Amino acid sequence: MNPYDENIVTYRTLLDGYEQALRRFTDASKSRNASQVFLPLFEALNWAVALDDQARAHWAPEGVPLDWSWRSRVAGGDLVNAVRCARNRVHHQWADALIRRDGMSAPLTPPLVLHEWTWRPLNDLPKAGGRRTQVIIEAESDYERALAAVPARITLTGLLDPFRRLADMLEPPRPR
């Protein structure tokens, strides 16, 4: 079954949107203007959630969609899980998950700027509603390990790996 029988937007189309937003974020992050930086950051994070949703619904290597377990089959899936944890905690209010800090963070990339958008500690995010399931506990653990106090630029770049790997599995490149 073609995963896009009922949906004309392919995974690679979503990935292209993510990569374009990442480039805009990279360019804007050189500015101290919070709005200039936040807009493409917000956009990239929402593309990331869309890619995660698409993978959940359409990746079915054994004939049945893997649902959220797709992340355990792709290196870097734990980073996707951590970003989803942040999204679930802040409900698309990404500004509540990030803070601009003064100073430099490694790895340094030119041009050097003296500020960085970083992820807040998990305890600073709004509390999760409902029952604490094993899935939520694992997502929170991934957040603490992979996101807390990490620059957003590192996260956004790191998400490229699992998303590109999955694109190759969902839509293998055609031979020339």
Any idea which residue has 């079954």 for tokens?
1
Q: pLDDT class for 4, splitting at 50, 70, 90?
A: low
Give the separation between CA 150 and CA 171, rounded to whole angstroms.
31
**Contact between 20 and 47 (Cβ < 8 Å):** no
Q: What percent of the chain has pLDDT over 90?
A: 59
90-119 mean pLDDT: 76
Any idea which residue has 């995010």 for tokens?
125
127-134 mean pLDDT: 84
At 96, give phi and psi (nearest 5°): -75, -15
Task: Check pLDDT > 80 for residue 173.
Answer: no
Task: Check pLDDT > 50 for residue 155.
Answer: yes
> What pTM was estimated for this model as a whole?
0.87
Which two three-digit tokens encode residue 123? Answer: 């305890």
Note the pLDDT of residue 1.
40
Note the pLDDT of residue 31.
76
pLDDT in tens, 8-49: 689 999 999 999 999 999 888 877 777 788 899 999 999 999
Task: Check pLDDT > 60 for residue 89.
Answer: yes
